[in-house]
Amino acid sequence: MKNMTQTETNQRRRTVFFLIVAVMILAAVTAAGILTEGCAVETDFSRRNLSPSLQHLFGTDWMGRDMLARTLSGLSLSIRIGILTAAVSAAAALLLGTASVVLGRKADAVISWCIDLVMGIPHILLVMLISLACGRGFTGVVAGVALSHWPSLARVIRGELIQLRQAPYILVAERMGVSKLQNVRRHMLPHLLPQFLTGLILLFPHAILHESSVTFLGFGLSSEQPAIGVILSESMQYLTTGKWWLALFPGLALVLVVALFALLGERVRRLLDPSSAHE
């Protein structure tokens, strides 16, 4: 009987349950944001500056736009930018990481130098510069965030692959007549997956935060788009007049989403990392 209760609440199951719930929440926010995009830009001057009530849970702003709808579509936009960024970064990191291992010592030196170079520039500065160069707006932000976040993941993958390439079991498999490609698929990718997945998920919070901060500073999305950064920078002007709900709820929602992603990455790591997989 005691065993039964133990298996029902073990760490692994709880973690899997948490993962499913977190992914569902994030998916729901993304979907809700897309659906409320029409509401979010709808202005109605008869309901300006209403504080939070049952009808408008997050209140309304000075143009009578519903803040809940704006927040949701802002978050949704952030998450979508995050996904795009993570995909681009992951692809770049995987490609460069593999190239620096496969192409030999010289190529590795060049790629490592590039990684160090990009890592050496503060992220936010790089995002601003690239975003400006690409003409701001959606493309600018995505390009900026995507092109500045790959180095950390690339470095992890490179290190992991260098270690794997010299692993005795891979060398032995090679002498047993296993082809290079099969070796990569059977022996390298499964070992790379935990690091890769965790790194990928942990890219999200960075991407989202940088997207909103660059927008907040005015180098990102244009002001008519319902982005979290836009909402926060506009509400700055109204904070002093006592309209606290304009910044509080969107800000809290952003923090929650970011924290959710960070927790997600941490839990996935614990689940996949051999040293903590049996906890």
Partner 1 sequence: MILEAHNLTFYYRNRKKNPIIDSFELTIPPGERVGLKGPSGRGKTTLCRLLAGYERPKQGQVLLDGKPVGEYRGACPVQMVWQHPETVVDPLLKLKETMAEAGGIDKRLVEKLHIEREWMERYPSELSGGELQRFCLARALRPETKILLCDEITAMLDLVTQAQIWEFLLEESRRREMGMLVVSHSEALLEKVCTRIITLD
Contact assessment for residue 162 and residue 152, using Cβ atoms and an 8 Å cutoff: no
CA dihedral 270, 275, 277, 279 (to 10 degrees): -90
Of 193-232, binders to partner 1 (CB under 8 A) are: none
Token pair, residue 70, equals 């704006």
Q: What residues between 245 and 274 interact with partner 1 by CB under 8 A?
A: 274
Our CB check for partner 1 shows the closer of 120 and 190 to be 190
Closest approach, Cβ 208 to partner 1, in A, equals 33
Q: How many CB atoms lie within 10 A of CB 215?
A: 28
The alpha carbon dihedral of 266, 269, 271, 277 has a sign of negative
Nearer to partner 1 by C-beta: 40 or 192? 192
From residue 63 to residue 92, what is the string marking binding to partner 1 with x (rule CB under 8 A)? ------------------------------
In a 10 Å sphere around its CB, with 0-12 CB exposed, 13-18 middle and 19+ buried, how is residue 177 labelled?
Answer: exposed
CB of 6 to partner 1, least distance (A): 22
C-alpha distance from residue 198 to each of 72, 177, 181, 204, 268 (Å): 26, 33, 24, 10, 6
Calpha distance 143→251 (Å, rounded):
24
For partner 1, the closer CB: 2 or 105 = 105
* 31 lies in the site for partner 1, by CB under 8 A: no
User: 60 pairs with which residues across the strands?
Assistant: 66
**Which residue's CB is nearer to partner 1, number 147 or number 268?**
268
For residue 218, the minimal CB distance to partner 1 (Å) is 49
Pair 57, 66: CB distance under 8 Å: no
Q: At its nearest, how many Å lie between partner 1 and the CB of residue 182? A: 8
Binding-residue total with partner 1 (CB under 8 A): 16
CB of 186 to partner 1, least distance (A): 7
CB of 122 to partner 1, least distance (A): 36
In this complex, which beta carbon is closest to partner 1, that of residue 246 or of residue 271?
271
For partner 1, the closer of residues 177 and 242 by Cβ is 177
Min. distance of Cβ 93 from partner 1 in angstroms? 22
Q: Which of residues 138-197 bind partner 1 (CB under 8 A)?
A: 167-173, 175-178, 186-187, 190-191
H-helix segments, the chain: 2-8, 11-35, 37-40, 67-102, 105-120, 123-133, 137-148, 150-165, 168-175, 180-183, 189-216, 228-239, 245-272
Q: Give the burial string for 32-65 (b: 16+ CB within 10 Å, else e).
A: bbeebbeebeeeeeebebbebeeebebbbbbebb
Q: Specify the residue, 157 or 208, whose C-beta has the smaller distance to partner 1.
A: 157
Q: Least distance in Å: CB of 168 to partner 1?
A: 4
Q: Which residues bind partner 1 (CB under 8 A)?
A: 167-173, 175-178, 186-187, 190-191, 274
